[in-house]
């Protein structure tokens, strides 16, 4: 079992390649260094994607994300680099990476980058009626 950060992303076969479905991941412990000051930057990464033939293996994703810990990157650079690496490894139908960096100097920074397979369009979302269930607090 590897306990060291690595830049390799592993994947596995999509178990349902015949349909579009969304995979949502939240990575609340991303760190890298400010390239100007060397101080740590902290972010929550939110990854949403519609897989095509491959899905990312979670342990390799964790070790890949960890590999940025001691590297200096501007927020925009590291967000786009991670998206590029994931898109190259998985070739998804659609992928969005949102990097929500914590406050630094009174400024929160959110960077959103997207990748879309040529010609892919999302299926129209169907809204189903929702029903509220009223609880009967009077014991009736």
Q: Which residues are catalytic?
A: 34, 41
**DSSP-assigned states of every residue in 15-48:** S-TTS---EEEEEEEEEEE-TTT--EEEEEEEEE
C-alpha 23/C-alpha 133 separation (Å) is 29
Nearest Cα to 92, choosing from 121, 37, 50?
50
């Amino acid at each position: 079992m590897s306990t060291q950060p690595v830049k390799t992303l592993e994947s596995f076969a999509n178990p349902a390649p015949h349909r579009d479905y969304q995979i949502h991941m939240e990575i609340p412990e991303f760190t890298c260094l400010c390239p100007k000051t060397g101080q740590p930057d902290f972010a929550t990464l939110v990854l949403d994607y519609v897989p095509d033939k491959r899905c990312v293996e979670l342990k390799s994703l964790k070790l890949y994300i960890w590999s940025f810990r001691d590297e200096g990157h501007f927020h925009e650079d590291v967000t786009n680099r991670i998206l590029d690496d994931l898109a190259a490894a998985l070739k998804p139908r659609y992928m969005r990476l949102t990097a929500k960096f914590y406050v630094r100097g009174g400024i929160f920074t959110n960077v959103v980058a997207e990748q879309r397979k040529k010609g892919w369009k999302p299926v129209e979302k169907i809204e189903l009626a929702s029903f509220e269930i009223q609880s009967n607090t009077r014991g009736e």
